[in-house]
Each structure stands twice: as C-alpha cells, then as structure tokens.
Chains A and B, each alone.
Chain A
Amino acid sequence: DAKTTQPPSMDCAEGRAANLPCNHSTISGNEYVYWYRQIHSQGPQYIIHGLKNNETNEMASLIITEDRKSSTLILPHATLRDTAVYYCIVRPQAAGNKLTFGGGTRVLVKP
C-alpha cells in the first residue's frame, strides 16, 4: 500500500472548519483514499473514502487533488467530540485488503 504523510498534530477552534492534509505521492491507480478516526480508547471509526472525485457525507468532505498525490479531509464545523487521531490510508477497495495505520494526526478541538 502507498505510504501517507500527515502532520502529527493540529489544533482547531470549536465551530470552525478543520482541514486535515494528507500526502500520498506514490498512490497507485487502483488505490482509494480512506479516512478513519480514533477517539480516545475507542475503536477506529470510518469517516469517508474516495478515488478521484471529491466526496461528502454527513461527517466530512474529502477533497482529492487532480493528480491524486494529496488530499484534505474537511470537518465543516468542528465540535469538542471531534477531538481524535485522524488516519489517512490508501489501499485498493477490493475485499480482503487490510488497513495499514500510520501515525495519524492528533486533532485537538478547543473551545
């Protein structure tokens, strides 16, 4: 699986948008970009994924650059409950492909 690079930590003000960057310059054509988060002591939670088009769901938006070498996860209105470690992972969508977690970005939402 392609390697990803994320900043180790970032702070965000409550109510503001949080923009989380991820670099994946070696991504392959069949690899999707997945985002998960882990709130303290809980199991990881799926957020969103995409291939090349921008995606939006009830939790977040995913913006993927045209060359697919980087992406940004946007939490539109961060709340205190969004404080977590956010993981950007690239891998094929096919069944049976495990997720390989890196260090992620530790996001602290401050009041």
Chain B
Amino acid sequence: NAGVMQNPRHLVRRRGQEARLRCSPMKGHSHVYWYRQLPEEGLKFMVYLQKENIIDESGMPKERFSAEFPKEGPSILRIQQVVRGDSAAYFCASSRGTGEYTGELFFGEGSRLTVL
C-alpha cells in the first residue's frame, strides 16, 4: 500500500510564475490536509479538504493560494504569482473518513518550493 505521494519533490520558480503541487492520498483515504513549513520554522496548517469540498481553509493566505481535491485525481495546491516568501516545504497528509479511524494523519515527504 503506497503512502502519500507528493510531486514534484523539488520545484524552482521565478517570481510571478505559478506553482502547482500535487498530492495523492493513501488508498482508501478521503481526507487531505496541506501544511507549510518555512525554513527553520514549524508546520503550519493551511487547508483541509474532502473529495470535491474544502472543509477548513483557515490557514490559507487570502490571496494567490488555492486548493482543490477533485472527484478523480490528486489534490492540487496552487500558488499564483509566487514571491520569495513562498519558498518553503509544503507537506500533504491524508486520513480515513470512516471505519477504523484512529485519528492518525499520514504525511508525504513534501514538496520543496524555491522562488528565485
């Protein structure tokens, strides 16, 4: 059973470009969470999604950032018009919604965005 898959693992963008980060949850998981970790800082929650729905986006910056989790395919975190301050590691996690749910979130290895 593959774990949470994130790609790309490393992404370099110039200021003003767009960044798209993808996350495929573990098989059978219907909940996806995105976190951001700035250099030398802690993990900050950004957004929580279920299939086709945004449940909690309290940690998302109001502008330039968006997330989706379509019925088919991976969850996408999109950053428009990137700035240097967006340089960070972006982690995705997934969890079950029902059944034998222990509250555990499974994290991917992250996508590291560098903005030049």
Hey, which bits of chain A sit against chain B, CB under 8 A?
A: 32, 34, 38, 41-46, 49, 91-104
B72 within 8 A of partner (CB): no
Partner of A49, one of B45, B97, B104, B107: B104
Q: In the complex, which residue of chain A has the Cβ closest to the Cβ of B96?
A: A95
CA distance A98 to B104 in the complex (A): 10
Q: Which residues of A contact B106 (CB under 8 A)?
A: 46
Residue of B nearest to A102 (CB): B42
Q: Is B24 an interface residue (CB 8 A)?
A: no
Partner of A98, one of B45, B98, B109: B45
- 23 A-B pairs within 8 Å (CB atoms) are namely A41-B89, A42-B109, A43-B109, A44-B105, A44-B107, A45-B107, A46-B106, A49-B102, A93-B101, A93-B103, A95-B96, A95-B101, A95-B103, A96-B31, A96-B50, A96-B55, A96-B56, A98-B56, A99-B93, A100-B45, A101-B42, A101-B43, A101-B44
A95 & B31 in contact (Cβ 8 Å cutoff): yes
Query: A44, A45, A49, A95: which contacts B98 (Cβ < 8 A)?
Result: A95
Categorize the interface residue count of chain B. 20 to 34
Within the complex, which residue of A32, A41, A46, A98 is in contact with B33, where a contact is CB–CB below 8 Å?
A98
Total residue contacts A-B, CB cutoff 8 A: 64
- The answer to whether B55 touches A97 (Cβ under 8 A) is no
Q: Are B56 and A95 in touch, CB under 8 angstroms?
A: no
* Contact (Cβ within 8 A) B103 A103: no
Neighbouring A residues of B31 by C-beta, 8 Å: 95-96
Residue of A nearest to B6 (CB): A43
Contact across chains for B42 and A43 when beta carbons are under 8 A apart: no
User: Which B residues are in CB contact (< 8 Å) with A91?
Assistant: 103
* Choice from B45, B89, B95, B107 contacting A95 with Cβ under 8 Å: B95
